[in-house]
A and B are shown apart, each in its own frame.
Chain A
Amino acid sequence: MTEPLIFEKSHPHLSAPRLPAGSKGQGEPLPEGLRRRRSPRLPRISEPELMRHYSRLAALNYSVSEQFYPLGSCTMKYNPIANEVAAALPGFADLHPYQDEATVQGALALLWELERALAAITGVDRVSLQPAAGAHGEWTALRMIQAFHRERGEQRDTVLVPDSAHGTNPASAALCGLKVAEVRSAPDGRIDLGDLEAKLSPRVAALMLTNPNTLGLFERDIRTAASLVHGVGGKLYYDGANLNALMGICRPGDMGFDAVHVNLHKTFTTPHGGGGPGAGPVGVKADLVPHLPTPTVEREDGAFRLDFDRPASIGRVRTFLGNFGVLVRAYTYILAMGGDGLAQASEDAVLAANYLRKRLEGVLELPHEGPCMHEFVASARGLAAEHGVRAIDVAKGLLEEGYYAPTVYFPLVVPEALMIEPTETESRTTLDAFADAVAAVVGRAGEDPEALRHAPHGLPIDRMDEVSAARRPVLRWLPEGDTH
């Protein structure tokens, strides 16, 4: 089942819908030379056909609203409907960002409250809500750390990143013009303190770390790692991708982290949108506060105002005040959950992951000793060696069973990795059914590996020829016969 492109459904002679026409007066003609020569080839389509097109496309997606989505590191939990109601209120959705401060006190109050809540959850002093996504938050934090070192006249050009880190960590460092040095994982999956110590020098600007790490393991020696890095004058940056394990249990700020980013589209239930928009607020300890992006929201005599006058600030990281609509959703969630509810959510996430991990013992290889935190990594190495069935084949087999696939081939330190994060919003019934499905797929690997290597069957399409797609990329529609 596939759906034609909307451009292929266009009716060449269909007129545009009725639109507001503005003034009935006569304006001036556009000066010669400024008028567009060729009209853009946008579709001409009626509203009923438009809606049907997108309804059909929607039906081709798996999503949290319909499927269990155990995508490791992505925290695909349920997105409460109340969040959507809140963000759509005209008092938020219809606000212009350059309205007078006196006319947006409710919006500024929300930002101020959300900042305090995130600071309490992560254990930092201040938070900037401006960054638009996790990677943007990483980069913002590194820019602040860079500003901190520069202000002290220090030449620090190296960022340490564990070999199990998300790809965004080294990429964000590079975008700051910083060099990346990799720190090895020890055999137990945690950071190798010896290797960390060996890589420390006065050139180190920061260590980027997520805790629990991407294997779902808590970095027990985090305090030691922090004092080692601080000992050479470096800063610790916390990648918040895995914060869902820790709310109300412990805080990155107390572990020794100086800067923390949070993914509101993971931990705080704002929808992922098929790849955003998210939001990646960044919290910092007191000595990085002067470097926060402008503006910050301040409260004076019960009124809220924006502070643009921050001389040591790194400046602006995006326009306006960040992804406000996403921030409204996250604040709504935090209000509804409360401190008690957030702590319960993290405990339940840890419980769900450990339960599922236990259920998969003996089904898949579990290379690291438990307990895990909110996620765990399994390996299909044995299946690959024995039956030639790889992690990707297991993933595709699970799609066929009606589940979204775990994250595969990440982290890089585990061969044939399958990274599984169930989240707290799934029931035991769902976890059991998924565990049975994994067992069934593994069983099929022995019985009919060839079929599994061509899975999934019965979905809208089979496996795509991605190699040819990349070799001769077709990145847009063109009309028949037009080579552009």
Chain B
Amino acid sequence: MLDAMGASSLEDLLRDIPAELRLGRLDLPEGLSEFETLQRIRALAGRNRVYEDRLTFRGAGVYRHFLPASVAAVMSKPQFATAYTPYQPEASQGTLQAIFEYQTAIAELTALDVANASLYDGATALAEAAVMAMSHTGRQRIAVAPYVHPEYLQVLRCYADGRGFDIVELDESMAIGPETAAVAFQQPDLLGSMIEPAGLVEAAHGQGALAIACVDPISLGMITPPGEYDADIAVGDGQQLGLPPSFGGPHLGFIACRTSLTRRLPGRLVGQAWDGKGRRGFVITLTAREQHIRREKATSNICTNHSLCALGAAVYLSYVGPDGLCRVAEAGYRNAHILQSRLTALAGVEAIRSERPFFSEFAVKVPDPVAVLERLDRAGILGGLPLGRWYPDLDRALLFCCTEVNDDDAIDQVVEVMSQS
């Protein structure tokens, strides 16, 4: 090739790089065959402990669910996995239509008008929603309800510190001040508890603020979606829609809103279009919001999002359908309520916030959380998450989670281990 192009050597092509910048040798080990590579990788994977689905009772943002085999099969189709962002619609209808279908499914799930093509995760989706609310209202304060996931709050603070807006944490009274751009709340919250959101949304609107609901997508098969209580923006994490836990990622953030906020949405939007022969197709649209057109005036800096995960979520939602989604939600709800009532009947196990309805997670106080978790672990059970890592006043609390994959036998085992105190 060098000869064909009249170059004397590769060095000749690299001549613009000053000699003092040239690296002698890249300080990494030599390459390996695929066999040796995967041997090393398997050894690393082998040093991790994998808990059985049915014996996992830990959630707090990442959940074990039944993963239909069709989801992974579609996501691994190379025509989806190895395509780029669909800039050329004629050669990208597969991705574009799949995203349009995903947008529709998320809009339906949240009962809002429009959803974007995906964001990175639930926490960055919440931060993007906050930025939308500030541009929309011209105000600089986001009020956050109690027990929003602490990592979501940390991410929101990191965005706020950069762009220069305030985060106010509300107390249980949820009183909202007049300078508020938006009230953000999680339904159910980190402790699994549910609020009656309509009152809070009304209070926000009364102050001219928007209401941002951070929701659990599985729960929406069963419980009131944001659109039904008049929230303006809904966000959340889509891991539960067919994606494996994968140590926390990649999953996806979803965001949906009412039509009046469409042009403030971050990231890509796919819309319907027609060609000259009257054929329906799909294109990336409303790009005048985006960084490659608007640069520093864009609604967000996001470019690459989580398209393939959004595809997976769309496959999942189509696989289970509306009734299946409701059954998945109901099974988690039922399991959690059965486990909670059996655990809190044990001596020394105390319910926390038992006056609140909860969905599929609940917290209990135990005399010695470390000892309890060790005993559960010996039985192969990943027990509730110790909440002391975030809330010093809950240092004896464990947050248990159930989904449809826990069964009676698994619940019996947890109760059995925890009754031996």
Find chain A residues with CB under 8 A from B132 CB: none
From A59, A249, A317, A456, contact of B14 by CB (8 A): A249
Does A233 have its Cβ within 8 Å of any Cβ on chain B? no
Return B412 CB to nearest CB of chain A, in Å.
10
Task: State whether B47 touches A89 (Cβ < 8 A).
Answer: no
Task: State whether A275 touches B325 (Cβ < 8 A).
Answer: no
From B20, B46, B85, B327, contact of A275 by CB (8 A): B85
From B72, B113, B151, B408, contact of A25 by CB (8 A): B408
Task: State whether A355 touches B408 (Cβ < 8 A).
Answer: no
* Closest chain B residue, CB of each to CB of A24: B408
Return B99 CB to nearest CB of chain A, in Å.
8
Tell me the interface secondary structure of chain A in the complex: loop
Task: State whether A132 touches B49 (Cβ < 8 A).
Answer: no
Does B155 have its Cβ within 8 Å of any Cβ on chain A? yes
From A57, A92, A110, contact of B93 by CB (8 A): A57
Task: State whether B91 touches A40 (Cβ < 8 A).
Answer: no
Return A97 CB to nearest CB of chain B, in Å.
3
Find chain A residues with CB under 8 A from B286 CB: 470, 473
Q: Chain B: interface residue count, which band?
A: 35 or more
Task: State whether B162 touches A42 (Cβ < 8 A).
Answer: no
C-alpha gap A328/B382 in the complex (Å): 24
Does A183 have its Cβ within 8 Å of any Cβ on chain B? no
Return A49 CB to nearest CB of chain B, in Å.
9
Find chain B residues with CB under 8 A from A15 CB: 323
Find chain A residues with CB under 8 A from B56 CB: 96
Task: State whether A109 touches B334 (Cβ < 8 A).
Answer: no
Task: State whether B32 touches A65 (Cβ < 8 A).
Answer: no
* Closest chain B residue, CB of each to CB of A87: B246
From A45, A121, A273, A460, contact of B308 by CB (8 A): A273
Task: State whether A271 touches B295 (Cβ < 8 A).
Answer: no
Task: State whether A177 touches B337 (Cβ < 8 A).
Answer: no
C-alpha gap A462/B281 in the complex (Å): 9
Does A50 have its Cβ within 8 Å of any Cβ on chain B? yes
Q: Which candidate, B103-111, B200-208, B344-352, is the interface stretch facing chain A?
A: B103-111
* Closest chain A residue, CB of each to CB of B30: A338
Please name the 5 residue pairs, one residue from A and one from B, whose CB atoms are nearest each other, closest first.
Answer: A320-B248, A91-B45, A273-B308, A338-B31, A106-B47
Find chain B residues with CB under 8 A from A167 CB: 290-295, 298, 303
Task: State whether A82 touches B34 (Cβ < 8 A).
Answer: yes
Say whether, besides A92-B45, A315-B158, A322-B248, A36 and B228 are in contact (CB < 8 Å): yes
Task: State whether A410 touches B331 (Cβ < 8 A).
Answer: no
Find chain B residues with CB under 8 A from A136 CB: 120, 124, 301-302
Q: Mark A320-351, 1 if CB is under 8 A from B, else 0.
A: 11111110100110111111111100010011
Does A385 have its Cβ within 8 Å of any Cβ on chain B? no
Q: Mark B2-35, 1 if CB is under 8 A from A, else 0.
A: 1011110010111111101111011111111110
Task: State whether B301 touches A174 (Cβ < 8 A).
Answer: yes
Does A44 have its Cβ within 8 Å of any Cβ on chain B? yes
Interface residues in A171-188 by Cβ distance below 8 A to B read 171-177, 180
Q: Which candidate, A27-35, A193-201, A282-290, A436-444, is the interface stretch facing chain B?
A: A27-35
Return B201 CB to nearest CB of chain A, in Å.
14
| Total contacting residues, chain A, CB less than 8 A | 192
Task: State whether B298 touches A61 (Cβ < 8 A).
Answer: no
Does B420 have its Cβ within 8 Å of any Cβ on chain A? no
Task: State whether A314 touches B81 (Cβ < 8 A).
Answer: no
C-alpha gap A96/B245 in the complex (Å): 6
Task: State whether A371 touches B13 (Cβ < 8 A).
Answer: yes
Does B277 have its Cβ within 8 Å of any Cβ on chain A? yes
Say whether, besides A98-B62, A103-B48, A351-B10, A315 and B80 are in contact (CB < 8 Å): no
Q: Mark B269-301, 1 if CB is under 8 A from A, else 0.
A: 111111111011101011110111111111011
Find chain A residues with CB under 8 A from B47 CB: 91, 105-106, 109
* Closest chain B residue, CB of each to CB of A403: B91
Say whether, besides A51-B70, A167-B292, A320-B151, A60 and B324 are in contact (CB < 8 Å): no
Does B133 have its Cβ within 8 Å of any Cβ on chain A? no
From A30, A41, A474, contact of B223 by CB (8 A): A30
Find chain B residues with CB under 8 A from A271 CB: 81-82, 308
C-alpha gap A103/B27 in the complex (Å): 30
C-alpha gap A135/B300 in the complex (Å): 10
Return A155 CB to nearest CB of chain B, in Å.
13
Task: State whether B101 touches A5 (Cβ < 8 A).
Answer: yes
C-alpha gap A175/B44 in the complex (Å): 38
Task: State whether A104 touches B48 (Cβ < 8 A).
Answer: yes
Task: State whether B285 touches A276 (Cβ < 8 A).
Answer: no
Task: State whether A223 touches B46 (Cβ < 8 A).
Answer: no
Q: Which candidate, B169-177, B178-186, B313-321, is the interface stretch facing chain A?
A: B313-321
Does A63 have its Cβ within 8 Å of any Cβ on chain B? yes
Which of B16, B84, B273 has its CB near the most chain A CB atoms (within 10 A)?
B84
Say whether, besides A54-B98, A61-B80, A316-B151, A19 and B320 are in contact (CB < 8 Å): yes
Does A459 have its Cβ within 8 Å of any Cβ on chain B? yes
* Closest chain A residue, CB of each to CB of B81: A271
Task: State whether B32 touches A338 (Cβ < 8 A).
Answer: yes
Find chain B residues with CB under 8 A from A58 CB: 74, 77, 79-80, 94
Find chain A residues with CB under 8 A from B161 CB: 143, 314-315
Task: State whether A28 touches B164 (Cβ < 8 A).
Answer: no
Find chain A residues with CB under 8 A from B417 CB: none
From A14, A317, A354, contact of B321 by CB (8 A): A14
Say whether, besides A98-B62, A337-B31, A399 and B223 are in contact (CB < 8 Å): no
Does B404 have its Cβ within 8 Å of any Cβ on chain A? yes
Return A163 CB to nearest CB of chain B, in Å.
10
Find chain A residues with CB under 8 A from B307 CB: 273-277
Q: Mark B42-54, 1 if CB is under 8 A from A, else 0.
A: 1111111111000
Task: State whether B407 touches A19 (Cβ < 8 A).
Answer: no
Task: State whether A177 touches B163 (Cβ < 8 A).
Answer: yes
Find chain B residues with CB under 8 A from A60 CB: 92-94, 97
C-alpha gap A395/B82 in the complex (Å): 20
Return A224 CB to nearest CB of chain B, in Å.
10
Task: State whether B301 touches A171 (Cβ < 8 A).
Answer: yes
Which of B41, B123, B221 has its CB near the most chain A CB atoms (within 10 A)?
B41
From A51, A67, A460, contact of B74 by CB (8 A): A51
C-alpha gap A28/B344 in the complex (Å): 15
* Closest chain A residue, CB of each to CB of B246: A325
C-alpha gap A7/B164 in the complex (Å): 43
- Beyond A274-B99, A277-B305, 13 additional contacts (C-beta under 8 Å) are A36-B225, A63-B83, A96-B58, A96-B382, A97-B248, A135-B291, A174-B297, A271-B81, A272-B84, A315-B161, A322-B248, A335-B37, A474-B272
Task: State whether A98 touches B60 (Cβ < 8 A).
Answer: yes
Task: State whether B357 touches A94 (Cβ < 8 A).
Answer: no
Return B152 CB to nearest CB of chain A, in Å.
7
Does A238 have its Cβ within 8 Å of any Cβ on chain B? no
Say whether, besides A66-B79, A335-B40, A468-B274, A2 and B280 are in contact (CB < 8 Å): yes
Find chain B residues with CB under 8 A from A76 CB: 82, 84
Interface residues in A466-482 by Cβ distance below 8 A to B read 466, 468-470, 473-477
